[in-house]
Amino acid sequence: MGTTSDLRGYGGANAYLAACPSRTILDVLANKWTMLVIGALGDGPLRFGELRRRLDGITQKMLTQTLRALERDGLVSRTVYPTIPPRVDYAPTELGRNVSGLLDSIRIWSEDNINTVLASRYAYDERAAMEVPPVTAG
């Protein structure tokens, strides 16, 4: 790094420091909807409605919010066609495609390992239920 031009480049980012800006983008990425939106978007472009249909359970508010944050951070581009009715396309930017593989891998891992996790949860909860049950009679 060293000679970052005029952009006040932040050198030696370290997410383990609370004040490090990298935490702010980590916050955006480390989010359920971000993971799913980026994955659903694929190579895009995709319209708002189509995106919504692919994301079971997302509300219009959350989708808008997530897309805005991604657009602001330069991970997703937004194209408005001034037609009636309006049409808005979303597509990953180069930066977005850059990170989408990483995010996808987390989602896919979740899908691949959910059974192991469920088994662990079950065992954990059983054990917890066994010891020191809430103070009742007996």
Interface with DNA by CB under 7 A: which residues? 33, 47-50, 57-62, 64-65, 67-68, 78, 85-88
Based on CB atoms, which residue is closest to DNA, 64 or 105? Answer: 64
Footprint on residues 8-27 left by a second copy (CB under 8 A): 9-10, 13-27
User: Taking a C-beta distance cutoff of 8 angstroms, is the pair 88, 78 a contact?
Assistant: yes
> Does 31 participate in binding a second copy (rule CB under 8 A)?
yes
Based on CB atoms, which residue is closest to a second copy, 87 or 121? Answer: 121
Site mask for a second copy (CB under 8 A), range 57-76, x = bound: x-------------xxxx--
- Distance of closest approach, residue 91 Cβ to a second copy, in angstroms: 15
- The option from DNA, a second copy, none interacting with 53 (CB < 5 to 8 A, set by class) reads none
> Does 95 participate in binding a second copy (rule CB under 8 A)?
yes
Please give the angle made by the CA atoms of 53, 95 and 28, to the nearest 5 degrees: 60
User: Taking a C-beta distance cutoff of 8 angstroms, is the pair 95, 78 a contact?
Assistant: no
Out of 43, 113, 130, 132, the only residue in the binding site for a second copy (CB under 8 A) is 113
User: Taking a C-beta distance cutoff of 8 angstroms, is the pair 89, 46 a contact?
Assistant: yes
Please tell me the distance from the alpha carbon of residue 106 to that of residue 10, in angstroms, as a whole number.
Answer: 27
In eight-state DSSP terms, residue 90 is: E
Alpha helices in 2-91 (DSSP H): 22-29, 32-41, 48-54, 60-72
